[in-house]
Structure 1
Amino acid sequence: MRLRFSRGVITIAIIVIVLAVGISVGLFNLLKKTKPLAVKPEPHCTVRTPLGERYLDFEQAEISATIAAVAARRRLPERAVVIAYATALQESKIYNLPWGDRDSVGVFQQRESQGWGTKKQLMDPVYATNKFFAALEKVKNYRKLPVAEAAQAVQRSAGGYAYADHEPEAKLLAAAFTGRVPRAVHCWYPPGKKTPAPQPRTAEARKQLARSLGSTAVTSERRGWLIAAWSVSFAQKYALRQVGYAGATWKNDVELENWQTGGKAGNREVELS
């Protein structure tokens, strides 16, 4: 049985098709002219070394920089920093946690009831890191022990084997924050919306650096890059917009992903602005 359609039905169908095509073409052209909505990035830090790449938020970067600075003040080898990072990654993911198992708190989840210090002290990353390293230094031949074994000797954790899982990442972070790998730490944060923009608090930054590092003098290129990495990690906290060292400059520019070659800063001082 053959279906027959009247002229009116066919005409209506043609009109509907023409309108649909017209609307589709119009929408296509409109979308072509409309700029895509920009996704505003979150404040972040990127750590790059020959071992790979790792993204951190500013709290993690600040704590990582603090651990490296305290180790330098105590004249500890990079191996000690690797052990500290592996421990912090397992215990807190490098966050200064105000809670934990029973009375454990802080970066290393140290316990007041076990004599590590008061809760207020343990929530200070500089204090907590010094206590960790003081205990690590008492571990015989810790430099030659496997990372997990050395960390467990300090922490005495129920799952001490887990520290080993973080060794590759800990080595990457240690290479960057100790200054052994130059230009390894790059961060960005959204500039202040106030007019005028917040002024850099360079004096406060240097004072805080001194708490961790002691003398802020640049006595070697590696120490200079440690200070530079620390400064970039604390850039958001102290409204720093530029850090210069050894002919390279970090700028708080979302369009930049790395340090830029050039700048007035030499290798005798890290310049903050």
Structure 2
Amino acid sequence: MTIVAIVVVLAGAIFFAGYQLMKRTEPFVLGEGCTITVASGTLDLDLEQSQVAATIAAVAARRKLPKQALEIAYITAIQESKMTNIAFGDRDSVGIFQQRPSQGWGTVKQIMDPVYATRRFFAALEKVDGYLDMSLHDAAQAVQRSADGGAYADHRRSAEILATAFRGEQPRAVHCWYPPKESPPPPQDAAAKKEFTRARGASREDWLKATWFVTHAPVYGLRQVVHDGYVWTASAGQDGWQPVKER
């Protein structure tokens, strides 16, 4: 009995150690990504999807749009492009919302700019009479006029999670990780701030802003983001937001 007990305890200890190691190294095995966690659920996105989601939220905030408008944008972007900035699509559709130059949405170059594309989407949405009284998918269809408008409804839960996280309603909801570069370039703080301001405009410090900077950290070589007593660091991105240690 004693030997069996020892074997069981030892096996349990090995399993626990292996689990902790796997949990710690999983992000690096997978390479890169972002996890979005709010009270209503969790989503895993790649870096580009997270950057697009953060940009859409920033543009919505600049226009002072309600959460419902943001959710409409998310279900549209998920359905149309999986929230990636693709340079192809049905007929001449391009970009995160699959907007068509031939239908007056702008040039290909303009539509391939997520900030521009999002501005155009929201401008069209705001022209839809009573869109806030519609279902999310009906409002999306009123803008997009898709051949399969009902498909937008499949993404309502994901849109709610994204809107809660990227609007900054729930602190520390988004963290990202990616492999470090052997010779990382100097951080481009000024360029990052300029691009954020282009999307959001002048703004106070909040979780929407902090989240945008975390998702765009690999683009601009940012090594840490600090907000409201917490810090995210690129070197330990898989650990998420951690309390700032007093020195």
3-state SS of paired residue (1:186): strand
2:240 maps to amino acid: N
1:208 to 195, 201, 214: 195
Does the CA-based 8 Å contact 1:62-1:230 persist in structure 2? yes
Among candidates 60, 77, 102, match of residue 71 of structure 1:
60
Which residue matches 2:185? 198
Question: For residue 59 of structure 1, what is the aligned residue in structure 2?
Answer: 48
**Alpha-carbon contact 1:201-1:238 (below 8 Å) kept:** yes
Shift of 1:263: 5.2
For 1:244, which of 222, 226, 246 is the aligned residue? 226
Helix, strand or coil for the counterpart of 1:100?
A: coil
Deviations 1:22-77 (A, max 9, x none): xxxxxxxxxxxxxx997633111111101111111111111100000000001101
Structure 1 position 216, deviation (Å): 3.5
Q: CA deviation at 1:257?
A: 2.8
Secondary structure of residue in 2 paired with 1:208: helix
- Percent of residue pairs bearing the same amino acid type: 53
| Aligned CA-pair RMSD | 1.9
Bigger radius of gyration:
1
Question: Partners of 2:237 and 2:190 in 1: how far apart?
Answer: 28
Separation in 2, partners of 1:52, 1:217: 28
Could you list the per-position Cα deviations for residues 168-204 of structure 1 after superposition, in whole angstroms to 9, with x for gaps in the alignment? 001100100011111001001111202xx42211111
1:217 equivalent to 2:204? Answer yes
Report SS of the residue matched to 2:88.
coil
Q: What residue identity is the alignment partner of 2:54?
A: A
TM-score (norm 1): 0.78
One-letter amino acid matched to 1:238: Y
- Would the aligned equivalents of 2:86 and 2:96 in 1 still touch at CA under 8 Å? yes
Q: Give the TM-score normalised by the residue count of structure 2.
A: 0.86
Q: Determine if the alignment matches structure 1 residue 81 to structure 2 residue 64.
A: no
Query: Shift of residue 252 of structure 1?
Result: 1.7
1:95 corresponds in structure 2 to 84
Task: Give the structure 2 partner of residue 168 of structure 1.
Answer: 157
Supply the AA of the counterpart residue of 1:130: R
Sort the Cα spacing of 1:163 and 1:255 in 2 relative to 1 into closer, same or farther, 3 A: closer
In structure 1, give the amino acid aligned to 2:100: R
* Structure with a larger share of its residues in helix: 2
**Structure-1 separation of matches of 2:96 and 2:229:** 34
Gaps of 5+ in 1: 1-35, 219-223, 265-273
SS for the counterpart of 1:54 is: strand
Q: Show CA shifts across 1:71-125 (max 9, x none).
A: 0001101110000000000000000010000000000000011111111110000
Question: 1:31 corresponds to which residue?
Answer: none
Q: Give how far 1:253 is off.
A: 3.4
Amino acid at match of 2:131: Y
Secondary structure at 1:244 match in 2: strand
Paired residues, number = 223
Q: Which runs of 5+ in 2 are unaligned?
A: 1-20
- Provide the C-alpha distance between the structure 2 equivalents of 1:59 and 1:258, rounded to a whole number of angstroms: 18
Q: Is 1:113 equivalent to 2:95 in the alignment?
A: no
Q: SS of the residue aligned with 2:37?
A: strand
Partner of 1:181: 170
Counterpart of 1:76 in structure 2: which amino acid? Answer: L
By how many angstroms is 1:144 displaced?
1.9
* Pair 251,159 (structure 1): closer, same or farther in 2 beyond 3 Å: same
What displacement does 1:254 show?
4.2
